Structure 1
């Protein structure tokens, strides 16, 4: 879990967002279209939204988060350093389809949500992706730690999993193959798995 620092203007400062922004951006820059509309799920502090929309000016970037505090932080960071292509944050909850926006989108980005939410949130995310990525080739990008049968679980991830479950039994590291199977049932095919710093991975899915 990240440690957030509240700033006077309502922004939240996330050290983890600063650390992983550039490695994630390298993946996004290589695989996102040059132009189009991206929806960011569980955007948290908003630092990623500002960093990615600034680095990818051809993309209209819409962040979202169900937390009012997070949306306030996103708005504060946007007011401070947000580019013109960064849109106001949406109050989107993956478990409440009445909060979902109208599509279509060209890509959906979801960073560090799946393990810090109940499995029903992941199920909602996949339904949302199926609805909002109707065109073939639409991209769903996931980032975070996972359990993988063929990869020994790092001790740090094992401890993290225990910590998450102590906070909420519905949380915890997900099995990558279960996530892949769920995505496939919603018309999304895994096209790339990439190792990332600090025992995280990037998973890229395409709409078929």
Structure 2
């Protein structure tokens, strides 16, 4: 499972991420404000699964489908779902954003993806947008991205600059993405950037709608 966060394993096989716990409430507030009360949501790069169980239990009208290419992550997601007993969470898919052969057919009312675009090659972001353009309901299907981004009009925070350097030292193909480039890529797949929301710790939530 690709992450720079400190991950701990619980006795039942679930993995726990301090970062996921810290940002969960702030992200949930955004999702609650912009998601429909009922519908289907696909989560890309679910990681430990803590976001999936937290958000799905708080939004019981949504059918939540987590996914991750890592077998370790999917095992953790399963363990978390068994802990909370959420009936609206489907089995985790082995979805790899950069590999179209792993993508589900859909349709979905929404897609959520946190902290993937910078801890993956650009091809994963290209795949994410291609996937969203294919499986989101049209019009109005929601794509929500969370994480740090570069912005020409906003000075890069020192913590984000250090994070970007750390990412690139691990893999030159990783690094903070330019928000305007992400938005242009989204538009090429039928997704309009509709909202930029500042989040704690110099992160952003970016919302896109299928047109």
Tell me if 1:195 matches 2:192. no
Match of 1:145 among 135, 143, 148: 148
Q: CA deviation at 1:82?
A: 3.6
Match of 1:125 among 128, 135, 138: 128
Tell me if 1:12 matches 2:11. no
Q: Which residue in the other structure is 1:53 paired with? A: 56
Tell me if 1:62 matches 2:73. no
Tell me if 1:96 matches 2:108. no
Q: CA deviation at 1:9?
A: 1.3
Q: CA deviation at 1:114?
A: 0.2
Relative to the length of structure 2, the TM-score reads 0.98
CA distance in 1, matches of 2:86, 2:20: 18
Moved over 2 A (4+): none
Secondary structure in 2 matching 1:202: strand
CA distance in 2, matches of 1:39, 1:134: 12
Tell me if 1:21 matches 2:24. yes
Contact 1:50 / 1:82 at 8 angstroms: preserved in 2? no
CA distance in 2, matches of 1:123, 1:155: 27
Q: CA deviation at 1:134?
A: 3.7
CA distance in 2, matches of 1:100, 1:183: 17
Structure 1: tracts of 5 or more residues without a match? none
CA distance in 1, matches of 2:85, 2:26: 20
Q: CA RMSD in A?
A: 0.6
Secondary structure in 2 matching 1:172: coil
Relative to the length of structure 1, the TM-score reads 0.99
Listed as ranges, the matches of 1:153-192 within 5 Å are 153-192=156-195
Contact 1:37 / 1:106 at 8 angstroms: preserved in 2? yes
Task: Provide, for residues 71-127 of structure 1, a one-character-per-residue CA deviation record: whole Å limited to 9, x for no partner.
Answer: 000000000014110111000001111111111000000000000000000000000
Listed as ranges, the matches of 1:70-85 within 5 Å are 70-85=73-88
CA distance in 2, matches of 1:36, 1:134: 11
